[in-house]
Structures are given as structure tokens and as C-alpha cells.
Structure 1
């Protein structure tokens, strides 16, 4: 009979391309992953991997095994979840959550205290991952719940083994110094209002830099970008100097000091945030408890609230 650990190892190698990367994800050594693959080959009687450059690729038989793996994992997880639901009916144990950094800051962190009081038997482990990596981790079974966002308006591809629920619409605001002339405008800011100001922005290649480029697309002259900084607290420190303004997502924004003001934009950039988990974990008390705990926070502080 095929062992679940060996099957999980092959699936991770297939997704990541090397034994070393699969070992890092699974928390094993590369040698241990190699032994798992060799054990699987002995169990099914045919090779499942062949060398390809510095990595490996699946044989046709290996691909057939990987294609069948989700059904195996889902069946096993349904058994476990059914047993836990019947026996306990309450969230217990460890829930592994993977999320992008601003979701951790703006959604998970504010909910952790309430979740701890409501579910004392549940321990939540949080790890920062980009959306594509987060979805892969949940699909591969190395994480239980992912918080992901769309990329420039396009959602990350969702593996068929996963389901998702919309959680939040994250919106960008302009942050300026309290003495800045834009702070005195008592209305949403337009593209015309943004002309002629110096900026600090996130570096190119980030979602927030894409937001910035979209925001200033209708500004006649090329924007004056003075600083490229990935950390939002550091951006706010530069804004406090009075030299620059910044576009900051609400989820990512630290508390503003007395010298700073956030201004609503007439056409703000935005992104959708979803929770994703394996369909076989639909009945998981732990998954449902965490997703439900985000609900009151989002109703109180969603995109329709004050910036």
C-alpha cells in the first residue's frame, strides 16, 4: 500500500522541481525526501522521477500518481474532520495559516486575542507567504488556511481541491502631513490633486507600486518619486518630514501619528482578499472558527468605514 508521507513527498517535488525545495517545504532533509520517493517507487513498482538538469521531472507514471493524490488526501482529511467534528464539535489543536504580510497585520493580528478567548484549545501558527505559495501550501497539505489577494485585479489561480470565501476589500488612501495643503481639502482627492507632489512609494514589482502607477496614470507629468521603501512604517516616517506623500493600503497602515492625515481618493486602488482552504476541510471546526472570527472585524472596519 502507498504510504501517505511518500505520496506527499512526490507531490511536493512535482510542484517545486527539486528534492531540496521539497525538503525545505516539508521540514525534512533532501535525503529523507529521496528515501520517501524510492520507497514509493518500490511500492508501485515503477519509476516516478527522472533527472532533468539540476532538478527532476515526473515520469508519466509519476504524473498519474500526482494527479490521483488530491483524492487520497481529501478522503483522509474528511475522515479525520468527521471524527473531530463528532467527538469534539469545537476548534482544537493546531491550525497552520499562511498569509501575505498586510493580511497578517490588518486582519489576523487584531483577531488573535478574541480567537484565543473564544477557542482556548486552538493554537494558530501564522507564516508569511505570497498568494501563489500560500495556495500551494494549502493544496499540498503543509498549511490549513490561506489568506490571499488578487494581483493587479487578477485572482491567483485556485487549485480544484480548494474552496475560498471573500473576506475583505482592501483600499488605498493617500497619507500626507497635517500641514500639507492636500490635508485641507474636505473631499475625496482626484488625479488632478495629485500633480506636483513628491512621493515615497513601494519598490517596483510590488502590488502597492502597481497601485501607485495606476493612481498617477492620469496625472499629466511624470510623478516625482523621491524614495522607494518597502516598509510602510518607514514610508510614514518620511511623510512626517513634510517632504513627500504616500499611497498606503488600509490593511498595511500602522496607527498614524498626530502629524499625519489620511485622505480618501475618489478612485482608490483596491484589491480583494479571500480565505482559501481544502474542500475536504469544510467541516473543520478550526478553519470555520478562524474565518468566522474575521467577520466581525471586517464588518466594523471594512472598506465602507472610515479610513
Structure 2
């Protein structure tokens, strides 16, 4: 019979291309992954990997095994869910959650005290990952639940084995020092209001930088960007100095305190947040408990 751990190792090697990368994903050494692959080859009686430069590729037999692997893991997951249902379906054990950083801060962290009160036998193990990596982790079985956001209105491609539902809409506001001239405008800020002011913003390639660039689409002059900072707490520290303003998503924003104020925009920048999990785990009491705390289905 094929060893499940060896099958998972082969699938990870197939997705990542090297034993070392698979080892990092699975939390093993490269030597341990190599031994698992060799054990699998002994069990099936044929080679499943072949060298390709510095990496490896699947043999036809290896590809056949990887193509069949999702059905195996889904069947095993259904067995586990059936056992939990027999045991009254109480959420228990460890649920491995992967999420983007502000999702951890703004959604998971506030939900954890309520979850602990309702499900004392359930423990979350949270790892920060970008949306694409998070979906891959859930698909390959190294995580159970992912929180992901769309990118400039385009959702991350959802693998066929996963399902998802909407849990939150995150919105961006302009944050400034209370002494800043814009703070006196107790209304949504127009494009003309923003012209001529200095900014700290997220680096290019991030969703928040795309939000920022859209604010000035068609403007006669480029905005005055003084600082590029990825960490929102650091952005707010610079805003507190009074020299710059920032466009900050609400999930990333701690309570502003007395020194800072936030003003909305007429066309609010937004990103949609979804939870994603394997279809075969749809009946998981632990996943359902977390989803219940994150928000209702929409």
C-alpha cells in the first residue's frame, strides 16, 4: 500500500520542482523527503522522479500517481470528517490557517477570543502567507483554511479542489495628522483636495499601491511620494509626524488615537476577502466554527 506521507511528498516535489523546496514546505529535511520518495518507488516498483538539471521532473509513472493523489487525500479527509461527525462534530485539535498579514490582524486576531470561548478544544496555528501561496498550501494539504484577498479587483485563481466564500470587504481611507489641513474637511476627500500633499505609500506591486495610483489617474502631475513603506504601523508613525498622509486599509489600521484622523474617499478603494478550504473538508466542524466567527456567508 502506498504511504500517505510519501504521496504528499511527491505531490509537493511535483509542484515546487526541487526536493529542497518541498522540504521547506513540508517542514522536513531534503534528505527525509528523498527517503520518502525512495520508499514510494519501492512500493510502486517504478521510478517516479528523474533529474532535470538542478531540479527534478516526474516520470510518466510519477505523473500518474500525482494525478490520482487528490482523490486519495479527499477520501482520507472524508473519513476524518465522518469520524468527527460520529463524535458529535465538536471542533477540536489544531486547524492550520494561512492568511495575509492584515487579515491576521484585522479578522483572525479579533475572532480568536470568541472562538476560544465557544470551542475550547480547538487551537489555531496561523502562518502569514500571500494569497497565491496560501491557496497552494491549502490545495496541497499543508494548511486547512486560507484567508485571501483579491488583487485590484481580480480574485486569485481558485484551484478546482477548493471552495470559498466571502467574509469581508476591506476599505481604504486617507489618514493624516489632526493638525494637517485636510483634517479640517469633514467630508469625503476629492481628487482636487489631495493635490499637492506629500505621501507615504506602500511599495509598487502591492494592492494598496495600486489603490494609491488610481487616486491620481489622469492627474496633471505625479503625486509627491516621500516614503515607500510596506508596514502600515510604520506608515502611521510617519503620518503622525505631520509631514505626510497615507492611504491605509481599515483591516491594517489600529485605533488611531487622538493625534490622527481618517477621511473617506468618494469612490472608496476596496478589496474583497474570502476564506478558502478543500471541498473534501466542507463538513469540518473546525472550519465551520472559524467561518462562523469571521462572518456570515454572502
Bin for the TM-score computed over the shorter chain: over 0.9
Contact 1:145 1:287 in 2 (8 A): yes
C-alpha displacement at 1:186, in angstroms? 2.3
Q: Which residue of 1 aligns with 2:241?
A: 241
Structure 1: give runs of 5+ residues left out of the alignment: 300-307
- In the TM superposition, structure 1's runs of 4+ consecutive aligned residues that sit over 4 Å from their partners are none
C-alpha displacement at 1:219, in angstroms? 2.7
Contact 1:139 1:162 in 2 (8 A): yes
Give the distance between the partners of 2:252 and 2:166, measured in 1 at CA.
18
Structure 2: give runs of 5+ residues left out of the alignment: none
CA RMSD of aligned residues (A): 1.4
3-state SS in 1 of match to 2:274 = strand
Any idea what the Cα deviations from partners look like across 1:27-84, whole Å, max 9, x if unmatched?
Answer: 1111111111111122222221111221111122212211111110000100111111
Q: Which residue of 2 aligns with 1:215?
A: 215
Q: Which residue of 1 aligns with 2:202?
A: 202
Are 1:161 and 2:161 matched, yes or no?
A: yes
Give the distance between the partners of 1:208 and 1:15, measured in 2 at CA.
29
Contact 1:195 1:220 in 2 (8 A): no
Contact 2:168 2:295 in 1 (8 A): no
Contact 2:96 2:125 in 1 (8 A): yes
**Which shifted more, 40-49 or 109-118?**
40-49
Give the distance between the partners of 1:181 and 1:197, measured in 2 at CA.
10
Are 1:224 and 2:221 matched, yes or no?
A: no
> Which structure 2 residues correspond to residues 117-128 of structure 1 after superposition, within 5 A?
117-128=117-128
Q: Which residue of 1 aligns with 2:277?
A: 277
Structure 1 length-normalised TM: 0.94
Contact 1:191 1:218 in 2 (8 A): no
Give the distance between the partners of 1:193 and 1:56, measured in 2 at CA.
56
3-state SS in 2 of match to 1:254 = coil
C-alpha displacement at 1:220, in angstroms? 2.2
C-alpha displacement at 1:280, in angstroms? 0.8
Any idea what the Cα deviations from partners look like across 1:271-292, whole Å, max 9, x if unmatched?
Answer: 1100001111111000000010
3-state SS in 2 of match to 1:222 = coil
Q: Which residue of 2 aligns with 1:172?
A: 172
Give the distance between the partners of 1:223 and 1:19, measured in 2 at CA.
46
**Which shifted more, 38-47 or 130-139?**
38-47
Contact 1:194 1:219 in 2 (8 A): no
C-alpha displacement at 1:260, in angstroms? 0.6
Q: Which residue of 1 aligns with 2:76?
A: 76
Aligned residues: 298
3-state SS in 2 of match to 1:183 = helix
Contact 1:190 1:267 in 2 (8 A): no
**Which shifted more, 33-42 or 6-15?**
33-42
Give the distance between the partners of 1:197 and 1:5, measured in 2 at CA.
56
3-state SS in 2 of match to 1:43 = helix
Give the distance between the partners of 2:254 and 2:221, measured in 1 at CA.
30
Structure 2 length-normalised TM: 0.97
Q: Which residue of 1 aligns with 2:22?
A: 22
3-state SS in 2 of match to 1:251 = helix
Give the distance between the partners of 2:219 and 2:116, measured in 1 at CA.
47
3-state SS in 2 of match to 1:88 = coil
